[in-house]
Amino acid sequence: MRRVRRLPCALRAVPVAAGLVLAATSAASAPPERIVSLNMCTDELVLRLADRERIASVTWLSQDPRNANMADVARQVLANHGLVEQVLALKPDLVVAGAYTTRATVNLLRRVGTSPREFGVPRNLAEMRVQIREMAALLGEEARGEALIADIDTRLDALAARRPARPLRAIVLRPNGFTVGRGSLVDEILTRAGLVNIAAELGIESYGQIPLEAVALAGAEVLVLNDTPDGPPSLAHEVLHHPVITALAGKLKPVTLPSRLWTCAGPSVIDAIEQLVAATEPSR
Partner 1 sequence: MKHRAGAGLRTLVLLPVLGLVILITAAASLAVGYAALPLDQAFADAIAGRASLPALVLLELRLPRALLGALVGFSLGMAGAAMQGLMRNPLAEPGVVGISSAAALGAVAAFYSGLSATVALALPLGGIAGALSATLVLFVLLGRGASTMTLILAGVALNSFAGAATALALNLAPNPYAALEIVFWLMGSLADRSMSHVWLVLPLMLAGWLLMASTAPALDALSLGEETAASLGFDLTWLLARLIGGAALAVGSAVAVTGAIGFVGLVVPHLLRPLVGHRPGKLLVASGLGGAILVLAADLGVRLAPVRPELKLGVVTALIGAPFLFALVQRLRREAL
Give the binding site for partner 1 (CB under 8 A). Answer: 175-177, 209, 211-214, 216-217, 231-239, 242-244, 247-248, 251
Smaller CB distance to partner 1: residue 144 or 242? 242
Shortest Å distance, C-beta 242 to partner 1: 5
Shortest Å distance, C-beta 251 to partner 1: 7
Widest CA span in the chain? 77
Smaller CB distance to partner 1: residue 28 or 235? 235
Give CA separation, 140 vs 93, 127, 143, 235, in Å: 13, 20, 9, 43
Shortest Å distance, C-beta 239 to partner 1: 5
Smaller CB distance to partner 1: residue 196 or 249? 249
Shortest Å distance, C-beta 210 to partner 1: 9
Smaller CB distance to partner 1: residue 148 or 171? 171
Smaller CB distance to partner 1: residue 43 or 141? 43
Give CA separation, 55 vs 35, 41, 52, 126, 179, in Å: 5, 15, 5, 27, 35
274/155 Cα distance (integer angstroms):
9
Gyration radius from the chain CA atoms: 22
CA 134 to chain centre: 15
Shortest Å distance, C-beta 238 to partner 1: 8
Shortest Å distance, C-beta 21 to partner 1: 35
Smaller CB distance to partner 1: residue 136 or 248? 248
In three-state secondary structure terms, 236 is helix
Mode of pairing for the β-strands spanning 168-173 and 195-197: parallel
On whether the CB atoms of residues 59 and 40 are closer than 8 A, the answer is yes
